[in-house]
Amino acid sequence: MEYFRTQYGINLKNKKILIECRMVKELERCGAETFAEYLKMLQKDRTGEIAGGMVNRLTTNFTYFLREPEHFTILKERVLPELALKKRYGSCQIWCAGCATGEECYTLKMCLQEYQDQGGQLPNVRILATDISEEVLKKAEQGIYPERERENIPLSWREKYCQDIDKNNFRVNENLRYNIRFQKHNLMEPMRQNGKFDVIFCRNVMIYFDKVSRKQLVSRLEENLNPGGYLFIGHAELLSREETSLEQVYPAVYRKSENA
């Protein structure tokens, strides 16, 4: 648990039983008989394979399309028109931090397309979607989801953006998958990225972090925002003035000063 916290910032202190249940198969896969033996293997491994397996077992990736829909209304009605004016002759970068299986970044693409279809002007928008789990990134890149997830998407959007695969699964269309780059990234490490972001979505991620790691994460997110950029966090999360200099402009939405 301590190794996971120091490496990834995620606090699993009160989830000992959950960890043991999830890690039994991982120990078997690695040929370790005890947790102590597994930890030694983990510390000696230079390939990252064992750490990757642990991350895939222990991370929670619950999400769905149009989660916390108020955020996407704010994006369409407030943020995108502002970016259209500021970035008229340039490009715009959006970061989905902790993207899980990709529903959030594809919802973003749907909103961008709807905004343009309704006459809104936008610069070239590029989306970076990151997660620490290679397993969920593969699923996100494929863009294939069980039929039950379609229920969260408005009916008119389903017809435009979803393609049937079979009676149990659908896929988001190719246009949505275009211009999204999926990348493995540990939020406790510096972002290897040219340029900063105009919008960052890091929602329902901090709830898994301890106080120290959370403060480090907020600092990194703020550092990676352009002046005037927006940070969207989960509605169950709240940033104090001690944690950030960003100004809260809407519920769970923060903005970096133009003069920062």
- The helix-helix angle for 35-44 and 49-58 (nearest 10°) equals 130
Q: Which two tokens stand for residue 110?
A: 């749907």
Do 171 and 162 meet the contact criterion of CB atoms below 8 Å apart? yes
- Residue 145 has phi, psi (to 5 degrees) of -135, 150
Between CA 114 and CA 108 the distance in angstroms is 10
**Which among 29, 78, 131, 203 is annotated as catalytic?**
131
User: CB–CB of 249/218 below 8 Å?
Assistant: no
User: Nearest CA to 81 among 138, 120, 47, 42?
Assistant: 120
CB 253, CB 244: distance < 8 Å: no
Check 22, 78, 150, 158 and give the catalytic one.
22
Nearest to 57 by CA among 104, 15, 103: 15
CA atoms of 257 and 260, how far apart (whole Å): 5
Residue 127 class from Cβ within 10 Å (0-12 exposed, 13-18 middle, 19+ buried)? buried
Is residue 67 annotated as part of the catalytic site, yes or no? no
Specify the DSSP element, H or E, that contains 92: strand 91-97
241 counts as catalytic:
no
How far apart CA 7 and CA 9 sit, in angstroms, is 6
- Catalytic amino acids? 22, 131
